[in-house]
Amino acid sequence: MTMDRNTLGQIQSRRRFLEQTACGLGGMALWQLMADDTGLKAHFAPRARNVIFLFMPGGPSQLDLLDPKPAMKEHHGQPVPGHMLENLDDGLIRGSARVFASPRTFKQHGQSGMPFSDYLPHLGRIADDICLVRSMHTNVPNHTPGQLLMNCGQQIFGHPSMGSWVTYGLGSENRNLPGFVVMTSNSGSGIDAGTANWSNGFLPPEYRGVTFRASGDPVLNLSNPTGISATSQRARLDAMHDLNRLQLATTGDPEIASRMASYEMAFRMQSAAPELLDFSGETKATREMYGLDNDVTRAFGTNCLLARRMIERGVRFVQLYHSTWDDHSNLNTKLKENCDMTDRGTAALVLDLKQRGLLDDTLVIWGGEFGRTPMNEVRRGNTPGKEGRDHHPFAFSMWLAGGGVKTGHIVGETDELGYHITRNPIHVHDLQATILHCLGLDHKRLTVKHQGLDHRLTGVEKARVAKEILA
């Protein structure tokens, strides 16, 4: 089953009819109808019910974290072999580029023997729970279009994000919290595409990602001002509801119904969101596992714990942003800083979901918009110990866990320098199709008609479900 703008309009018409009937009983039925119509239902039996996407803007270096290349040491400091650049249209790296062998050491972990960098000691604890993909590739080497392509399926602004598509297709299982929540663990610098990464695009506004904060009001201005009680707030909303109902009856504008739904959601969140942020019921061991008592790990760990609590409460799609991994220079230092902040919380999230029986139904994804080059960033100097890497869209690594994917498994390979993919290439659109598949959604059937065209997350280019990832 799919829904286009015409179908959506029919639902809005039903809502309008209910609004105008039964002396207000229609208004009561409206909110139930809106709750019932939040999703289209799955196309087939899903393996996952929820998604947590740990998005790392800037492009983490796969060569220093997830894809060891010992052969690079033989070529360190030498020009890249000519055969690797032959017929390659690469505007960022040409001519003077020299191989930069990773200074990191790698160790095998778990029964699978999956290798991880010494910068990721905690990730090794979940080696047997993840599927590591070393053969990701994308279309663009720049941050803004790269982030939009990964999150929205298109390189341009104005398209719905993956979280919006998912909640549009499946709705939320909690009427008191948004179906799609976004959190950032630092200043947000490095999220080059900004809020467009979690935009609803041309979908109704209730499918936009809602930005939560880990302390204070989860959403700005969520708490009532001094002197405003819940009762008076309810009365104000009822008055606005009556005015909006009259306007809806006059114009039939579906945006009015969306606005009414947003007001009601905000009111319900005033009680649900503070409880979500109350960690008093969490054990000391859980807090320690996520690193909440450590200044370095607290921010990202808190968001990871919140992500687990949101999944428990039925939030459909949670996306955590930690930036920036754009290390053109001083990679050795900057990469360690980011790993120190995120590694503990990331592993804790997967382990916590698993021990609570939530991992089977939750798909966890980790990665950025592209990877880094095997060569030193020549524009920033060659000072030993201060090297960096440039953007690399042709081959990079991501990993997935839970929700129907293989465990303790590596998919894809790259050449001896990690420049080109040599086996099982997986495009960003393939990844998106696979995520939707795990949720029971056919990426070809999840469409919306907009400006005369049928749009979908995976675009018009050929995309496939990467079955080599699936269990």
Between strands 371-376 and 389-392, the pairing is antiparallel
pLDDT tops 70 at residue 465: yes
**Contact indicator for 141, 149 with CB cutoff of 8 Å:** no
State whether residue 466 is helix, strand or coil. coil
Please compute the mean of the pLDDT values over residues 13-29 and round it to a whole number. 40
The pLDDT, as a whole number, for residue 457 is 97
Inter-axis angle of helices 298-312 and 254-276, nearest 10: 110
**Contact indicator for 72, 112 with CB cutoff of 8 Å:** no
Neighbours of 202 (CB within 10 A): 15
> In the numeric block, which tokens belong to residue 403?
């929700």
Neighbours of 38 (CB within 10 A): 20
Q: To which residue do tokens 């866990």 refer?
A: 401
Please compute the mean of the pLDDT values over residues 26-30 and round it to a whole number. 38
pLDDT tops 80 at residue 186: no
The pLDDT, as a whole number, for residue 30 is 40
Angstrom distance (rounded) from CA 379 to CA 95: 12
Please compute the mean of the pLDDT values over residues 53-66 and round it to a whole number. 98
Going along 213-336, which residue ranges are E strands? 317-321
- What burial class does residue 10 get, using C-beta atoms within 10 Å of its C-beta: 0-12 exposed, 13-18 middle, 19+ buried? exposed
Angstrom distance (rounded) from CA 318 to CA 44: 22
Q: pLDDT band at 35, cuts 50/70/90?
A: very low
The pLDDT, as a whole number, for residue 294 is 96
pLDDT tops 60 at residue 11: no
Give the DSSP letter of residue 87: T
Angstrom distance (rounded) from CA 172 to CA 13: 22
* Alpha helices, DSSP H, located in 277-389: 284-290, 298-312, 331-355
In this structure, what are the phi and psi dihedrals at residue 316, rounded to the nearest 5 degrees? Answer: -75, -45
> In the numeric block, which tokens belong to residue 83?
């055969």
Q: Where do the domains of the chain lie?
A: 72-103
* 388-418 pLDDT per residue, tens: 999 999 999 999 999 999 999 999 999 999 9
State whether residue 426 is helix, strand or coil. strand
* 113-137 pLDDT per residue, tens: 999 999 999 999 999 999 999 999 9
- Mean pLDDT rounded to a whole number for the chain: 86
| Amino acid identity, position 226 | T
| Amino acid identity, position 107 | K
> In the numeric block, which tokens belong to residue 388?
């960096």
Of 217, 215, 198, nearest to 302 (Cα)? 215
| Amino acid identity, position 362 | T
In this structure, what are the phi and psi dihedrals at residue 264, rounded to the nearest 5 degrees? Answer: -65, -40
Give residue 437's region: left, alpha or beta (phi > 0; psi -120 to 50).
alpha
| Amino acid identity, position 270 | Q
The pLDDT, as a whole number, for residue 266 is 60
**CB pairs under 8 A, 24+ apart, for 19-28?**
19/245, 19/248, 19/249, 20/245, 20/249, 27/241, 27/245
- What burial class does residue 237 get, using C-beta atoms within 10 Å of its C-beta: 0-12 exposed, 13-18 middle, 19+ buried? middle
The pLDDT, as a whole number, for residue 12 is 44
Higher-confidence residue of 7 and 352: namely: 352
Angstrom distance (rounded) from CA 80 to CA 87: 14
Of 97, 124, 98, nearest to 113 (Cα)? 124
The pLDDT, as a whole number, for residue 242 is 74
Please compute the mean of the pLDDT values over residues 451-457 and round it to a whole number. 93
Q: How far from chain centre, in Å, is Cα 182? A: 8
* 218-249 pLDDT per residue, tens: 565 556 566 666 676 667 666 776 777 888 78
**Contact indicator for 393, 139 with CB cutoff of 8 Å:** yes
Higher-confidence residue of 9 and 439: namely: 439
User: Residues 313, 196, 292, 405: is their CA dihedral positive or negative?
Assistant: positive
Give the CA count within 13 Å in the CB-facing half-sphere of 22. 12
Q: How far from chain centre, in Å, is Cα 16? A: 34
User: Residues 163, 169, 170, 171: is their CA dihedral positive or negative?
Assistant: positive
* 60-118 pLDDT per residue, tens: 999 999 999 999 999 998 887 766 666 666 555 555 678 999 999 999 999 999 999 99
The pLDDT, as a whole number, for residue 275 is 86
Q: pLDDT band at 152, cuts 50/70/90?
A: very high
Element of type H or E holding 435: helix 428-438
